[in-house]
Amino acid sequence: MARTRRTRRNRGTPLTIVLLVLASISIITLDYRGDAHGVISGIKRVAHDAFSPVQSGVDAVVHPLGSFLAGAVNAGAIQQQNARLRAEIERLQGQAAAHQDEAVRLRALEELDRLPFAAGIPTVTGQVIGLNSSDFASTVTLDVGTSSGVAIGMPVVGGAGLAGQVIDVWSDGCTVRMVTDPRSAVGVRYGPQGALALAQGGGSDQLLDIAYIAPGTSMHRGEVLTTSGLQQARYPAGIPVGTVTSFSSSASSTQESVTAKPVVDLDALEYVDVLQWLPPT
């Protein structure tokens, strides 16, 4: 019985196809002649309404899938482009930093070329190549020595003022004791009358202790202390040494308690001038 039903179904299939073809030809003929425009339009609307949900569902699945595949294909290229952009940004940042560093060096050298307090004194420009800073010592090493005309006892200055004094020297280098070294002592002048005092190194706090100022002396913060230039002094006169940062005294004080900050930024020191000047003997 199952075999008989299968035979009848197979025989009916060609007939169905023929009827569909005839119906299609009839619809096309009517549409061409214009006799059934309203009917065919209705059939088109029904077909459109019937297939629209199916088409929307297909689009909802296919469009995100297409976008995902496109993104997957382009992801590698985007990553490569981002890597190139990052490398370019880093290169430009490196160039900017190098140019900024060169500009700082140029300004430092230009300041050394315009030292009002070193007028008429020959100088040797050196670069700081070593630093030793602790509670007990504050020294730097320069890349200039006896072969450049440097000798023990010569003052060393930055663009703003006194940095220290040469305490050791060899053919191509020297050691400079900074003004903040506890063993450093510089005779200074202060106030409108040029009164005398002594600036002593304070060690690791990078400040100067100013001694021999009478209690109650009129002072102000930011006041500049300069080398005294007395006979047999270690430094020529008029070199800025420090600026007053604090001062105080009490009823029992024998002197004013004064601190000053070096005019030279010793932490950022890179280029200096060695003044070819020695104390008179």
102-125 residue pLDDT tens: 666 666 666 677 788 888 899 999
156 strand-pairing partners = 164, 274
Binning pLDDT at 50, 70 and 90, where does residue 190 land?
very high
pLDDT of residue 89: 80
59's tokens: 């689009």
Pairing of strands 162-170, 195-201: unpaired
pLDDT of residue 58: 46
What would the pLDDT profile of 225-277 be if each residue is shown by its tens digit? 999 988 778 899 999 999 999 999 888 889 999 999 999 999 889 999 999 99
pLDDT of residue 250: 83
Q: What CA–CA distance (Å, rounded) separates 160 from 174?
A: 21
What's the pTM value of the predicted model, to 2 decimals?
0.63
Q: What CA–CA distance (Å, rounded) separates 168 from 158?
A: 19
**pLDDT of 73 over the 60 cut:** no
Closest by Cα among 29, 103, 71, 45 to 270: 103
Closest by Cα among 235, 238, 154, 134 to 142: 154
pLDDT of residue 275: 96
Residues 6 or more apart whose Cβ sits within 8 Å of residue 92:
none
Residues of the chain with pLDDT > 90: what percent? 44
What would the pLDDT profile of 8-67 be if each residue is shown by its tens digit? 445 555 555 555 555 556 555 555 555 555 555 555 554 455 445 545 554 554 455 555
pLDDT of residue 123: 94
Q: Which domains does the chain have, with CATH numbers?
A: 121-275 (2.40.10.340)
The full length of the chain comes to 281
Q: What CA–CA distance (Å, rounded) separates 218 from 189?
A: 14
